[in-house]
Structure 1
Amino acid sequence: MGWLSRFLTAVSFLAIGVIFSPETFGSSSDGQKIPKLLTFLKLAHLLCFSTAWGAALWVTFIGGIIMFKHLPRHQFGNLQSKMFPAYFSMVGTCCAISVACFGYLHPWKSSSPSEKYQLGFLLSAFAFNLSNLFVFTPMTVEMMKQRHKIEREQNIGEEVGWTKNREVAKVNPQLAAMNKKFGMIHGLSSLANILSFGSLAIHSWYLAGKLRL
């Protein structure tokens, strides 16, 4: 199934859910009147938050680890250099929409302390993604390309795992220095990603407390 077919299928199911939802006809499931704008803002917030949360969970703890364990290192690095800008752009956009919707639904002056904290967590997730998109990822990709060049001169990089890199780095000061620089920047990028994920995780707990099942 192509991406267009998948998109149309998802939109169709969303449309069916909207049509048969009580909120579509101006009332909630408990009979109270709800403005349609508020319902659409809640929907936008929920969809964008869940997209950001799901993408962060997959990339951070599942997809990246699987690819690292099964792809040659240079192939893995080149793939990540294309994926990460798209990943951080998507998650950053979703966080921005979630912040806008949550901020509109909970004006600062009339918000409770917990709601203000949640807006802060969403803003933090957005900021951490922006730092990765515009600062850490470009630096990481550039250093990766420089290290790939050094590794190709040593005929390594097409293997899976770090064994050969570490062995060569013991007798190659240039590669050892590049490993250190790359590790530092990549560590900062990973930290920003984990902090963003943690901020989203805290908001998921908040949303779970609001659900009535």
Structure 2
Amino acid sequence: MITATEPPFSAKVLQLVFLSTFWGMQIWVTFISGLVMGSNLTRHTYGFIQSRLFPYYLHIGSACAFFNLILFTTYHPSDELTEEETAQLVVLFISVTVAAINAQWFGQLTSEIMADMHLMEQSHGLGQDIGLCSRKAYLRLRDSDPKYKKLTSQLRFYSSVSSLCNLACIWCNSLSLYYTAANLSTL
């Protein structure tokens, strides 16, 4: 488990900062702020905040995952990797890949589709409801407008894929935290 090049203290601190920043953001955005905002803000206010906040969240997360991977590979030469270190490398690579795809594609498409839907909803006097309210008016709009129906379907798909990407990154970062805690002396 001892590497040829012991990471300096600054590299260990940076890896912990990047890993904990990304994981903390994920837990906050996914399980706390999203639920609180969704139940206390109007549908369009919540969507607007999400469309402005998520690009930062997703890109900062991608950067943190990337820097974690770089730091890990710098101090763990590929010819000296143990099985556990190889697993950690794979987890970090998955995190970087999924976070980047989510930031560059799924998250962005979700925000764009939601903005289009909000414009259509506003033209029908919708979007000022708070929390989980009656969806009858939205269902009527969906049934009467083929474009809105298509956008609803697209939003459901891209939002679901983006959420799965987010959960995959949470899982990867949780495994990374476990590995890091078990190997604090070597990272």
> Counterpart of 2:126 in 1: which secondary structure?
coil
Aligned to 2:64: 94
Query: 1:37 deviation in Å?
Result: 5.7
1:38-187 equivalent positions in 2, closer than 5 A = 38-164=8-134, 166-172=135-141, 173=143, 174=145, 175-187=148-160
Deviations 1:23-79 (A, max 9, x none): xxxxxxxxxxxx896222111111111111111111111111111111111001010
Q: How many residues align?
A: 177
Aligned to 1:13: none
Query: 1:210 deviation in Å?
Result: 2.3
Q: Relative to 1, partners in 2 of residues 1:37 and 1:206: Cα closer, same or farther, differing over 3 Å?
A: closer
Which protein is bigger by CA-based radius of gyration?
A: 1
Is 1:193 paired with 2:163? Answer: no
Once residues 162 and 168 of structure 1 are traced to their aligned partners in structure 2, the CA distance between those partners, rounded to angstroms, is 13
Is 1:202 paired with 2:175? Answer: yes
Once residues 209 and 55 of structure 1 are traced to their aligned partners in structure 2, the CA distance between those partners, rounded to angstroms, is 22
- Unpaired runs of 5+ residues, structure 1, are 1-34
* C-alpha contact (below 8 Å) 1:169/1:176 kept by paired residues: no
Query: 1:90 deviation in Å?
Result: 0.9
Greater relative contact order structure (CA < 8 Å, 6+ sep): 2
Letter in 2 for 1:179: T
* C-alpha contact (below 8 Å) 2:7/2:75 kept by paired residues: no
The percentage of counterpart residues that share the same residue type is 27
Once residues 136 and 154 of structure 2 are traced to their aligned partners in structure 1, the CA distance between those partners, rounded to angstroms, is 18
* C-alpha contact (below 8 Å) 1:38/1:105 kept by paired residues: no
* C-alpha contact (below 8 Å) 1:85/1:133 kept by paired residues: yes
> Counterpart of 1:163 in 2: which secondary structure?
coil
- Taking structure 1 as the reference length, what is the TM-score of the superposition? 0.78
Once residues 170 and 84 of structure 1 are traced to their aligned partners in structure 2, the CA distance between those partners, rounded to angstroms, is 26
